[in-house]
Amino acid sequence: MHPFFLPSVAGKIFCIYYPPPPDTKCQGNILFIPPFAEELNRSRHMISRQARWLAQQGYAVLVPDLYGTGDSQGTYAEANPHIWHGDLQSALSWLQQKSDAEICFWSLRTGALLLPGLLRHPNIQPNHIDTLRLVLWAPVLKGKNFIVQFLRIKTAAALTQGSNTTALTTKALQEQLDQGQTIEIGGYSLTPQMASELSQIQLSDLPLPAAANIRWFEMGSEDSDQIPPAANKLLATWQTKSANITAKTLKGPAFWTLQEPEWSNLLIDETLQAVKSVFNDT
């Protein structure tokens, strides 16, 4: 793997490039789109293992820390989805300069919510939309719902610490955001701009071509061809537009929620097969 800093729209972003083995033809380029806040830190072990495994199989994988996150320049308080779209476009351009192989986007959780904006970015190439390839790990469907869940982390922490929570509700926190106040949650600064812009995004906003090739994975208590009802509703809508969209639930931990690293080798293996299929089916 090759770590480096990539100049982007608001500052340099830290990236790790996982190339195919030497003297191996690149089977495809894969751009990872990371999740929000602590879900990223709790998932890094799975992200890096998946990226290494894909690279060993001949794929080129780029894993960026978006502006204000990880080892990149900036802070969360300075970041917003618009900047992150620019970061992803910068990463995509860099990846394509390394290899002219086709592109697949791989996202985790809220990373999927950055896809609609990325695919509408003025510098995006038409073929990235026309032959859209996606591998989605437990995608968040609505930014608004995620922000509410994120605010609950603060109310739960206050309750655990024995603080006076009479006024500390998600509604009260939302009102603070509406009044222009930044809220600190678990060491992350949630600005009014970030909350507002993320709340307006839905995965259903994704521009979906007829040739879209999507593999969607959820984690649960048992293997199943079913996914949660709200997700299944969106999936059914997508499947009326493209025949190459599948989803399944795999038995394993929701690792992005856990403080101690837990693994899902099944997800690693299934993702490799998914990547192979999205490249071979288009």
Write down the mean pLDDT value for the chain: 93
Q: Extract the tokens encoding 161.
A: 């610490």
| CB-CB contact of 248 with 220 (8 Å) | no
Q: Extract the tokens encoding 205.
A: 């906003």
Window from 114-118, 192-196, 225-229, 278-282 with minimum mean pLDDT: 278-282
What pLDDT, on a 0 to 100 scale, did the predictor assign at position 123?
A: 83
CATH label, 2-142+203-280, candidates 3.40.250.10, 3.40.50.1820, 3.90.226.10, 3.30.70.1520: 3.40.50.1820
Average pLDDT over residues 115-136: 89
CA distance from start to end of the chain: 28
Q: Which residues of the chain does CATH 3.40.50.1820 include?
A: 2-142+203-280
Distance CA 62, CA 51 (A): 8
What pLDDT, on a 0 to 100 scale, did the predictor assign at position 216?
A: 97
Burial of residue 240 (number of CB atoms within 10 Å: 0-12, 13-18, 19+): exposed
What pLDDT, on a 0 to 100 scale, did the predictor assign at position 125?
A: 81
What pLDDT, on a 0 to 100 scale, did the predictor assign at position 164?
A: 57
pLDDT confidence tier of residue 167, bands split at 50, 70 and 90: low
- Report the residue count for the chain: 282
Distance CA 115, CA 201 (A): 10
